[in-house]
Structures are given as C-alpha cells and as structure tokens.
Structure 1
Amino acid sequence: DQKVYVLLGDGEINEGQVWEAAMLAGSLKLDNLIAIVDRNKIQQSNFSDAIVDSEPLDAKFRAFGWDVARINGHDFEAIAGAFDQVHASSGKPFVIVADTEKGYGVSFLSGQLKKHGVALKADEKEKAYAELPVAADLDIASLIQSKQSFGAYAKPAAIKLEATLPADFDASKPQAPRAAYGDALKALGAQNERIWVIDGDVSNSTFSERFAQAHPARHIECGIAEQNMVSVGVGVSATGKVAVVNSFARFFERAYDQIEMGAYSQANLKVVGSHIGVSIGEDGASQMAMADCGFFRALPGAVVICPADYVSAYKLTATILEHEGFCYMRNVRGNVPVLYSADETFPLGDYKVLKSSDADQAIVLASGVTVPEALSAAEQLAAEGIAVRVIDAYSLKPFPSERLLQECQGLGTRHVFTIEDHYPVGGLGDAALEALNGSGVKVEKLAVTEYPESGSTAALMAKYGIDAAALKARVLSVLK
C-alpha cells in the first residue's frame, strides 16, 4: 500500500538512467510509483532547452506507459488536483510534470541563470524573506529531526545459511564456477526469503536464472539497463533484504557511479560479475572484464572475492550472502578442475595453500582461472628440481596480508609471483605488493598488459602471458 515518490529536475532527466527506470516502471505497471518533474527550465550552465530540449515530456512519459498530469507547479489547487489523480490512478506509474520558475517569488532570483549552488549573502537573505510569505524564524531543527525519524526501521539480523553441495555433484568433472554460483543461489534462496535477485538480461549466462526459475516472486528482470539494475538492487537492500545483482563483470562498468553510491550508502548489496578476463575467449574485448578488481578493491569496506572452482564458488556464494555489507564476486565462465573437497570452508581474508614443501624456493599467488595454471607450472618446475608453493588467493579484499608476510618469512623466500586474468593495476599483484611493501620480498606480476583480442581461451592466455608456460618461464628466469 506504500507510495514511492521521486523528485526529478528537468536537467537530471537528460540522464539515461532516468529513462531506463521509466521504461521498467511502465513495463512492470508500478502504480505505487509517482515521479514529480520540476520543469523550471534552468540548469547549472544554461537554460535547459538550450542544452537538451526534453519536450514533449508528457508525451514521452505516456509512451513509456505512465499516466501524466501537467500542471502549474506554483498553483496549490492544481497540485492538490494532481495528487487526487494519483490516488485515482491504477495500473500505471504516475508522473506530475510541474511547470515552475526557478527562484519564483524573489525578484532578484526569479528566472535567473548562474545561481546554481550560489549561497545568498546576509542582506540578500533578508530581502528574499521579505518578499516571500514565510516566517524568517523557521524551526529548522524540528524539520531536521522529523526527516531523521521518518521511515526508520530496525536493521534485520544477519542471515545464516547451510552451503551443502548438490547430491549429484561430481568432483571428477571440470565444472564452471558460474554454474556453482547458480546452483548455490537457488538452494540458498530456498533457505531464506530475504534473498532477492536482480538481473540484466544475461541470467542464462550468469546462471542466476536458476534462482529466478525456483523463486520467481523474489526475482526482478531489469533488461539491458545496468545503471537502473544496480539502483533497483540498492533500493531492495534498503528494505532489509539481501539484494544480489548479476551481469557480465564488464557490463557493470557502465554502473560504477551507482555501485559506488550504493557502497557509500552502506547497502547490503552483492554484485556478481561473470565472464572475467581473456579466458572468456572468442567473445572478445567488449565482453572481457580486465580492470574490475581495481575499482571494487578501491571501495572502502568492500569485499572482493574470486573463486577458482565449483566448490569454492558454491561456498563463497553463501559467505557473501551472510556477510552484512557490500560484496563483489568475480566469477569464472569456463569449466575448470575441481580443486576442493565438499567440506572445505573459505573464510574471508584468507587463502588456501594447494601445493607446498619445506624446499619451496618461491611462492605463487593465483586467483580464479589462473589457479590450475599455477598448479600445472609447479608440477613442471618440480620436474626440473625447482619447488614452488602455490596459493589460491580467493579473497582479494580483505587480503590476508599478515599471513602472506609470515608465509614468506617462514619459508625464507624473497620471491613471490602473482598470476591473474586482469590488467596489472589494481588486482592480485597490487594486493601482494601492498601486503609485502617494505619486507624485502620481490613481487613478480604476471597479468594482461595490453588490450586483448578475440581467440580461444588457451591461445589468449598464452598470448598475454598468464598460462602455465609463461609462469614457468618467469620463475626460471628469476630463480636461475
């Protein structure tokens, strides 16, 4: 029964996200949504129509499936009549286009450019008060108190989930981490109705469709509109739900503003991006997320993870759903070997040592699709008498800095190699550099150093130097 009101400026509606939202609202027939457009015709730098002519606004909203009232925004009877129409309307969202004049009622402000963000001087304030039919001694403190108390609700308790792998799970077959994520999302969604999933027309690729098919009442399809999709997720989380938004990791780059503002507002939002790096192969550079870790790791308080196999992806899905706060999960697209037993756990801020000995001469940190490559390189190096320790660095943030430093000190090594399907800046290599800064340990980074092209997974990983052969060659060149 609740109504949601959105106040828009006529400059703001230049933004594509506004029309992403308008299209979705009309499609879903959200008749509890009311938008109010302040059509004051002045923006920061010029008159609105000199920047982008947005008319006819009423016809545009009608074309998007909205009911519309266009009124004189300074006429209180017209305003009241418009809200009467809102309450009588059903089956469609409603927009009030209010024609107004910026600075209305103040002679030296009315209709004037270059007043955006300009505070009045003391004498101007007194002059404005004298021209307006309002009291100069407004009780601002009580207004602020009223705002702070409005809409407050008790923060729900963190959820607890049981991440039990499917009964038909076959560890002998290579499987895609994104498929594990889809399986986990479906199963965990059955355990807690606070879990909601939001998609952007790629759910059959991200495997979040498995949740949608099992729990359709808690699934929202937003179409190819990532900025609005993320904003919907933030809104869903604000109601006390655990919101999960899904897309190709590359496509989330279109919504970095909305993602950061969601994190800033402490949204309990889970961003899950699949199709990461050059390992997606033939789809090419437009689909490859190469710089995502740099952005997400930069966000204060964010959790960033990259599972390497089916088991870790399944278990880490539960981990981020249980975690109260903003999380980013980087999902591998292709089939990879199963590395872990079904009872393995993956706490945040830790890593897994997959191969080690007392004779190890160096440490190799890998994440995601490069973990099997690191294990293969280690086997080849062992055949040549060189032992290296292989670590699955699944938790990119929080990063297990202290443990890694102790690992290096305990082993007595001064060489750490990182290998990742990502650009060299902002990812695993930089996390290791930050952890080992000042320790005397040298970090050798293997990463994609140029804009990638299309090709097979194996060919691209070889071309950009992030496969087993490249790692073996780098280790040999450094240690020998």
Structure 2
Amino acid sequence: MITRHLIDLAQQLRVDSVRAAAVADSGHPTSSMSAADLMAVLLAHHLRYDFERPAHPANDRFILSKGHASPLLYAAYRAAGAINETELLTFRKLGSRLEGHPTPRRLPWVETATGSLGQGLPIGVGVALAGQRLDRTGYRVWVLCGDSELAEGSVWEAAEHAGYEHLDNLTAIVDVNRLGQRGPTRHGHDLDAYARRFQAFDWHAIEVDGHDVDAIDRAYTEAESTTGRPTVILARTLKGKGVGAVQDREGLHGKPLPDPAEAIAELGGVRDLRVEVQPPPAARMLHTGQGGHLELPRYEIGDMVATRDAYGQALAALGSARGDIVALDGEVGDSTRTDYFAKEHPDRYFECYIAEQLMVAAAVGMATRGWMPYASTFAAFLTRAHDFIRMASISGSGINLVGSHAGCAIGQDGPSQMGLEDLAMFRSVYDSTVLYPCDANQTAKLVAAMAGQEGIRYLRTSRGKTPVIYGPTEEFPVGGSKVLRASFKDRLTVVAAGITVHEALAAADALAGEGLHLRVIDLYSVKPVDRGTLHEAANRTGCLLTVEDHREEGGLGDAVLDAFLDGRPLPRLARLAVRTMPGSATPAQQVHAAGIDAESITAAARLLVEHALV
C-alpha cells in the first residue's frame, strides 16, 4: 500500500510537470519526470518541513540545484498543499510566482535561486555548515542535482569541503538520467564513475535505481543514519520517464511534450493526491541579530594604517557586538586580516581554502539561515566567483564581500594579484552597494554600516599603509561622500576614492601654492553615488577629473558619469585610470607608471584648466 501510494504520487508529479510546461508552452518537463520518484519519496517520507513556517529553525532544507526542473518543485508544492492547481498552471506567466527557475524572491520555500548549474551543492555546504556548527538544531540539507552539472568545478570544491568538514547532515541526490541539453553526459549511466569521485572526497555513496521507490526509501534512511561524512545518492533514471514518446530520447531537453494530453493519459491521468509532510521538531534559534555595544577601533589623525588592517579589527569588534556575524576567508586571512576575527571568534570563522566559488556560495547558504556573513579574499580573486555573486543577487541574498589588495598600488606582486576590474563587476550587480574607503576610521565605520544594507555589499581595501585623515567620530553614510578641499576659487574638481584620495590631496596642496585651486571629493560610496555633491561641484568648477586605481571601464569614472545622465547638460569630464598592463615595481612606481599619482593629477589639472581658458 505504501509503495503504491509513492508510485501514484510520483506519477502525479510527472503529470503536473507535463501540464505546467504545456500551459506555458515552455519549460523542462522531461528533466522533471526523471526525478519524480526521488522527489515523491523525499516529500512523503523523509523531509521534515512546516510550509506554514518556512523560517522554522528545525525545518530541513531542500535545494533544487537542477533549477530547470522547476515544474517538479512546483508540482511537489501542490502535493504538499502550499500552492493550488490554479497557481500551478500559471507557470512561467507574467506576474506568476512560479518562474522558469525558482527564486526565493518569489517563493518563501525556495532556499536560493538556481538555474546556473553547479551552485546548489556549494550553497548546500554553507547551509549544512550553519546547521552543524552554528544553528545546531538537527536539520538535514537535501540537494537534488543533475548529472550534467557534475562537470562544474564548483561541485567538486563543495564535495571536497563537505567531506573535509564531515557534514553528515548533508545529502546530495544526483538524478543520473544520462542526457544533457545537447546529448549524452560525459559518464552516461556509469554510476560507479560518479561514486569513485565522491568517495575520493570521503563521501558515503549509495547507488540506486531511481525509479524504485522502495530502494530510494532505503537509501534515504541509510543517508540519515550515516555519521561522520556526507552522503551522495546516485540514482539511475530515465529522462522523460513514463512516456514512451520521450523517455530516454535525445533532442527533447527544455521542450514541452509534443502531445501532452496523450502523455497525461499514459501516466494515468490527473490526480489530486495530498501529502502530509512530516513536521520539524521543536527548536529555538541560538543567535540574535543584535548584541552588545559596538566599540569600533579608533585611529588618530596622522597614523599610518592599512585599510585592510582596519577592516580586520573592525570585523572582530563587530563580531563581539553581534552574535550573528560570521566570517569566511579563502585561505588568505593573514592578508585580508580576517585572522583578527578568527582569533577572537573561532566558532564563527570558516576557512574555505582556495575555493572562492565555494566561499561565496557558503556565505549565501549561511545567509539563508539568518546569519550575517563577511567573506574575504583578494579583490582579483572574487572575479572567479562572479556567477555566484550574480545568482546571490537574484536570490536577494544579504552577504558582505570584501576584496583586499586592490589596484596596482599593491606593488611588486604584479598584475595577477591586482584587483583592477572589481568595481566594474560589483557595480553591475543588481541592487549592490560598493564602498571604497581611503583611511582606517572610514573603513571601520563602513564595515559596520555594511551589515545594515540590503543585497550584495562590497568593500574594497588596500594593502599598503595610508595616513588617517578622518577623526574617529566622523560619520560616513552609505551614498555619501566627503569634500576634503573646497573654496570659491576652485577651478577643477578631482574625484577620488581609496588610495587616490591621498594622491589627490597632495596634488591639490601642490597646486594651491601655484594659485590653482582644486576641489577634492572622496567618493567612498561608489554605489550608490552622491549625485548631489557631484552636481554642486560641477556647477561650481565646471570640470570633474576622476582618478582611480582601477581599469577605466566600469569603475569610479563611470560611476561619476552616471550621476549626470539625467538629461541635464554634461559638465566637462576627464579621467585618470590604469590603462597599461602593470609589471612588478614598488607601489609608488606603480601608481606613477599608471598615471594616477599626485604628479599625474597635477599635470592633468594644469592641462584641463589651460584648455578651459582657451
């Protein structure tokens, strides 16, 4: 009787997947049909979840890594009573919550946006780490993957880390249906090939017939009883299972079935089964968002302090004030300075090693559980995780990312270590905040401010020591700027951020002795940008010169330009940026060779003012 019920439920999930895709005239029903038995058994017998309370601290977490199989997920929601049939048939329609690939912005039961393959398991590792080391409420993390996405390197970053951390609360379910988008996958139905790879990373591997509900049930039970290591269930399935016209056939990926009515009849017709999903046990959250008094580090004007040092010290202080702060690093904590946090709060520090995709994904996973992550590495290396950052934005995830060693000013290490594209990358992310402090007190205040922002927050820090120019009581609202030099005699405005602020001040002081006055703006908030201050400067001086330790495309110069794209006449605009390919040299030599030092600013200012007189 139990077996028959599970078979019928799986058939209902298949039928509903076919129906949803047919109404939308698009979607991935065949990819949903292969995993229907896997989903039916999980939903009916093993998942512990309260759909009325998706934030329940003891809910199991389910991640559909193969996000294109969203019809299956939505069919499961209907079976659980979370949505009704009417909503199911709005799949992929304008205004519907049931998007082509699921996102938590629309549905409260979706953990994270998926669809860019290879992300579900790394994010699941972050959720499982939170469950094991932070929440400790006993929930399990179930991740349903497709076999095609196992070609992604991020999957194996996650697999190795999960094995290393002994995440026995994590189960990966791999729907091995052998067919990808354009044809067979690399290993086809060779379950042993996948098992060997996972076992090499110390996973417990179980191979099953993915259409035998009793075997699936036993595999899930075995996974739940396995201790000391994660479990992968490798399920041999057939794409389009149950419909002869499409089953295990190539060329049907991402297409509705050619004759949905006939397919539905072959699957036994429309059903209306309901599943009573097991409730989670009682549990309480162990962390709170707010804590004690925040005592940020204080620096005296004139001190020489690297902004990366101020970041590490401020993060440690923030961790003392707030119990929800966690820190992750890509095995460069002694350079990013997250090691300050690690020493003071080792229970909330996570070493992700040289695996930037995993690090960002784990931060996203922890954020889904209510934690406030700060993830740090060299600014240059965050570009490797751009797709994870993009998908985190689609999820509406609230994470803080910090890139150190920004720009050519790092010196002798050379261009492979220089973050020269990061501002452009983060500015392009939807609803992001991009901050670039120039001194230690500013850095400390912005580190704290990041925790109060929405979406993706990025802070750029510098390697070398720079003078402290602001007092410890100065405030730096996000979206603001600071005017550091101004007079009624100003002929030109120099807009700088980070390391170039100090170069701009030196240039302004030198030119003031010649009778040429420059207005200097510290545009520490690169996004959102302080339009009001920039407009006033343009009105007062008529010309703006941006100076940045970044490529000219997409960085500070473009942020300033965007502030004037509102239909009003544009002021004169010029920019200094890193246009060459740096080599190895001292920091001073690097910024001079790039044409962004005080001498270069002075020369450019003279030229711009001279042209204005012609």
TM-score range, shorter chain: over 0.9
Q: 2:251 aligns with which of 91, 114, 133?
A: 114
Cα 1:462–1:55 change in 2 (3 A) is farther
**Counterpart Cα distance in 2 of 1:320 and 1:393:** 16
8 Å CA contact retained: 2:442, 2:476: yes
> Which secondary structure state, in structure 2, belongs to the residue aligned with residue 443 of structure 1?
strand
Q: 2:362 aligns with which of 229, 232, 235?
A: 232
Aligned twin of 1:150: none
**Counterpart Cα distance in 1 of 2:343 and 2:460:** 23
> Which secondary structure state, in structure 1, belongs to the residue aligned with residue 321 of structure 2?
coil
8 Å CA contact retained: 2:176, 2:189: no
Alignment of 1:343-354 (within 5 A): 343-354=473-484
Aligned twin of 1:213: 343
Aligned residues: CA RMSD: 2.3
1:396 is the counterpart of 2:538: no
For 1:479, give the aligned amino acid: V
Aligned twin of 1:372: 502
1:278 is the counterpart of 2:278: no
8 Å CA contact retained: 1:420, 1:428: yes
Deviation at residue 21 of structure 1 after TM alignment: 0.4
For 1:424, give the aligned amino acid: E
1:103 is the counterpart of 2:103: no
Cα 1:77–1:160 change in 2 (3 A) is closer
Aligned twin of 2:139: 2
> Which secondary structure state, in structure 1, belongs to the residue aligned with residue 305 of structure 2?
coil
Deviation at residue 273 of structure 1 after TM alignment: 0.5
1:136 is the counterpart of 2:267: no
Q: 2:262 aligns with which of 124, 127, 130?
A: 127
Deviation at residue 100 of structure 1 after TM alignment: 1.1
1:416 is the counterpart of 2:544: yes
Deviates more, 1:80-89 or 1:341-350: 80-89
Q: 1:45 aligns with which of 176, 182, 196?
A: 182
Aligned twin of 1:425: 553
Deviates more, 1:31-40 or 1:170-179: 170-179
Deviation at residue 51 of structure 1 after TM alignment: 8.9
For 1:333, give the aligned amino acid: R
Over 4 Å off, 4+ runs: 50-55, 156-163
8 Å CA contact retained: 1:362, 1:417: yes
Cα 1:195–1:461 change in 2 (3 A) is same
Alignment of 1:439-454 (within 5 A): 439-454=569-584
* Alpha-carbon displacement from aligned partner over 1:310-361 (angstroms, at most 9, x marks no partner): 1111111001022233201011111001110110010011101111212111
8 Å CA contact retained: 2:294, 2:321: no
For 1:18, give the aligned amino acid: V
Alignment of 1:71-110 (within 5 A): 71-110=208-247
Deviation at residue 170 of structure 1 after TM alignment: 4.5
Cα 1:341–1:52 change in 2 (3 A) is farther
Aligned twin of 1:149: none
* Alpha-carbon displacement from aligned partner over 1:277-327 (angstroms, at most 9, x marks no partner): 100111111111111111111122111000001111111100102223320
Cα 1:324–1:162 change in 2 (3 A) is farther
> Which secondary structure state, in structure 1, belongs to the residue aligned with residue 545 of structure 2?
strand
Structure 1 residues without counterparts, runs of 5 or longer: 147-152
Aligned twin of 1:175: 305
For 1:426, give the aligned amino acid: G
Deviation at residue 2 of structure 1 after TM alignment: 0.4
Aligned twin of 1:26: 163
> Which secondary structure state, in structure 1, belongs to the residue aligned with residue 257 of structure 2?
coil
**Counterpart Cα distance in 2 of 1:53 and 1:476:** 70
**Counterpart Cα distance in 2 of 1:53 and 1:364:** 62
**Counterpart Cα distance in 2 of 1:207 and 1:102:** 49
> Which secondary structure state, in structure 2, belongs to the residue aligned with residue 45 of structure 1?
coil
Aligned twin of 1:268: 398
> Which secondary structure state, in structure 2, belongs to the residue aligned with residue 271 of structure 1?
strand
8 Å CA contact retained: 2:187, 2:193: no
8 Å CA contact retained: 1:158, 1:324: no
Q: 2:297 aligns with which of 166, 171, 182?
A: 166
8 Å CA contact retained: 2:400, 2:450: yes
8 Å CA contact retained: 2:424, 2:554: yes
* Alpha-carbon displacement from aligned partner over 1:261-286 (angstroms, at most 9, x marks no partner): 10121111001111111001111111
**Counterpart Cα distance in 2 of 1:89 and 1:287:** 42
Cα 1:161–1:250 change in 2 (3 A) is farther
Which TM-score applies when normalising by structure 2? 0.73
8 Å CA contact retained: 1:315, 1:345: yes
**Counterpart Cα distance in 1 of 2:415 and 2:237:** 47
Identity among equivalent positions (%) equals 39
8 Å CA contact retained: 2:178, 2:188: no
Cα 1:66–1:468 change in 2 (3 A) is same
* Alpha-carbon displacement from aligned partner over 1:173-224 (angstroms, at most 9, x marks no partner): 3110000000000011001111111111011100011111111111111111
> Which secondary structure state, in structure 2, belongs to the residue aligned with residue 78 of structure 1?
helix
> Which secondary structure state, in structure 1, belongs to the residue aligned with residue 181 of structure 2?
coil
Deviation at residue 162 of structure 1 after TM alignment: 5.5
8 Å CA contact retained: 1:162, 1:188: no
Deviates more, 1:444-453 or 1:308-317: 444-453
Q: 1:63 aligns with which of 200, 211, 223?
A: 200
For 2:488, give the aligned amino acid: D
For 2:422, give the aligned amino acid: D
**Counterpart Cα distance in 1 of 2:426 and 2:291:** 25
Deviation at residue 402 of structure 1 after TM alignment: 2.3
> Which secondary structure state, in structure 1, belongs to the residue aligned with residue 438 of structure 2?
coil
8 Å CA contact retained: 1:10, 1:37: yes
Q: 1:256 aligns with which of 364, 379, 386?
A: 386
Q: 2:453 aligns with which of 306, 319, 323?
A: 323
**Counterpart Cα distance in 2 of 1:432 and 1:239:** 37
Deviation at residue 126 of structure 1 after TM alignment: 1.7
**Counterpart Cα distance in 1 of 2:569 and 2:520:** 20
* Alpha-carbon displacement from aligned partner over 1:359-389 (angstroms, at most 9, x marks no partner): 1111111000000000000011111110011
For 2:170, give the aligned amino acid: L
Deviation at residue 130 of structure 1 after TM alignment: 2.2
For 1:218, give the aligned amino acid: R
Deviation at residue 26 of structure 1 after TM alignment: 0.3
What is the number of equivalent residue pairs in this alignment? Answer: 465
Which TM-score applies when normalising by structure 1? 0.92
> Which secondary structure state, in structure 2, belongs to the residue aligned with residue 339 of structure 1?
coil
Deviates more, 1:10-19 or 1:53-62: 53-62
